[in-house]
Amino acid sequence: MNKIIKKCKVCPIGCELIITENKSAPSGYSVEGNSCNRGRDFGIKEVTEPSRILTGRVLLENGHMSRLPVKTTGVVPKDKVEECLEIFNSTEVTAPIKRGEVIIKNILGLGVDVVAARKALQNSAM
């Protein structure tokens, strides 16, 4: 049975994922080592869609949550994914943010933008 070990890149914790072929699982794979469902989904995508729309989170200041979900407007080649996620992890935005607002224009010159996947309200307590 094939096992693939990947570091989860969805959040800075970086859980080590063990992705195993599993014919009885709906996706054809099972994932261990993940601390949350986002890691499981990431692990499955890593082996089923090596080039894809990239999703992640950027730091959010002055918002009602600490991180803003973002996604690319097009497919990112697999060999550029890590660089893009490093940029996500070092990007900080300030609420309010509208859904679909461009957060990073033309990331790495790939011809795709990174946009807000949801709106972020300003934290009224601040």
Burial class (CB in 10 A: 0-12, 13-18, 19+), 29: buried
| Distance of closest approach, residue 55 Cβ to ligand SF4, in angstroms | 11
CB of 10 to ligand SF4, least distance (A): 4
Establish if 10 lies at the interface with ligand SF4 (CB under 6 A). yes
For ligand SF4, which stretch binds (CB under 6 A), given 4-12, 45-53, 54-62, 67-75?
Answer: 4-12
Q: Which CB sits closer to ligand SF4, 4 or 110?
A: 4
Distance CA 97, CA 110 (A): 23
d(CA 26, CA 31): 12
State both tokens at 61: 């200041």
Q: For residues 14 and 6, what is the distance between their CA atoms, to the nearest angstrom? A: 9
Write out the binding residues for ligand SF4, residues 19-78 only, by CB under 6 A.
34-36, 38-39
Among 13, 53, 65, 108, binds ligand SF4 (CB under 6 A): 13
**14 touches ligand SF4 (CB under 6 A):** yes
Going edge to edge, which strands form the sheet with 16-21?
Answer: 3-7, 16-21, 29-32
Instruction: Compute φ and ψ for 51, nearest 5 degrees.
Output: -125, 125
Q: Which residue has its beta carbon closest to ligand SF4?
A: 39
Question: Which positions touch ligand SF4 (CB under 6 A)?
Answer: 8, 10-11, 13-15, 34-36, 38-39
